[in-house]
């Protein structure tokens, strides 16, 4: 099996598991608390990332075993480790907001929220919440970037 095929299979497994782990496995408490300052937020984020990483490990194990994909322990540890650390960093929220600021994405970060100058409103002028926000889009695209890095590490090492 080529490294490119390993990369593709691993990336698909990580991508699917990421979506499940970030939206189904993560608890409401973790989602609400992981961005709080101090140890309360750090620990909530760590619990979220632990559940997420376990979910990714299960998905990877299934794909690797069923498809007989050659991976190494070193590659798995490096890939899942980089993914976990970067996911934790981004989910602290202030860190990703900082990255949005230094890259000129502050306005996009606030898209879909009352902080955005063109936020969505109801017919009577009140805030109309949406599921899609700039913050969510930036968060997920950051995670997808590192899913790619993780898949590359797993395939290459």
Percent residues over pLDDT 70 in the chain = 94
Is the pLDDT at 41 greater than 90? The verdict is yes
- Evaluate if residue 85 carries a pLDDT over 90: yes
What integer best gives the mean pLDDT of the chain? 93
pLDDT for 132: 75
Query: For 121, phi and psi rounded to 5 degrees?
Result: -130, 160
- Domain chopping of the chain, boundaries: 3-156
Q: Give Cβ neighbours of residue 15 (< 8 Å, ≥ 6 apart).
A: 144, 147
At residue 113, the pLDDT reads: 77
Q: Give residue-wise pLDDT tens across range 129-155.
A: 666 788 899 999 999 999 999 999 999
State how far the Cα of 75 lies from the Cα of 156, in Å rounded to an integer. 7
Query: Is residue 18 a contact partner of residue 147, using CB atoms and an 8 Å limit?
Result: yes
Q: Which conformational region is residue 112 in: left (phi greater than 0), alpha (psi within -120 to 50 degrees), or beta?
A: left
Which DSSP category does 127 fall into? B
Mean pLDDT within 75-92: 97
DSSP-derived letter for residue 105 is -
**What pLDDT shows up at residue 128?**
66
Q: What is the pTM of this model?
A: 0.88
């Amino acid at each position: 099996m080529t490294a490119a095929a390993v990369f593709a299979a691993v990336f698909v497994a990580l991508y699917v598991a990421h979506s499940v782990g970030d939206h189904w496995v993560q608890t409401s408490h973790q989602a609400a608390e992981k961005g709080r300052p101090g140890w309360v937020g750090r620990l909530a984020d760590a619990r979220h990332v632990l559940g997420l990483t376990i979910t990714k490990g299960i998905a990877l194990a299934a794909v690797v075993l069923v498809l007989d994909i050659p991976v190494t322990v070193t590659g798995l540890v490096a890939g899942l480790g980089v993914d976990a650390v970067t996911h934790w960093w981004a989910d602290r929220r202030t860190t990703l907001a900082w990255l949005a600021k230094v890259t000129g994405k502050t306005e996009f970060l606030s898209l879909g929220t009352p902080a955005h100058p063109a936020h969505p409103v109801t017919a009577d002028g009140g805030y109309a919440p949406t599921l899609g926000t700039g913050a969510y889009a930036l968060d997920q695209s950051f995670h997808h970037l590192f899913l790619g890095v993780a898949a590359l590490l797993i395939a290459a090492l």
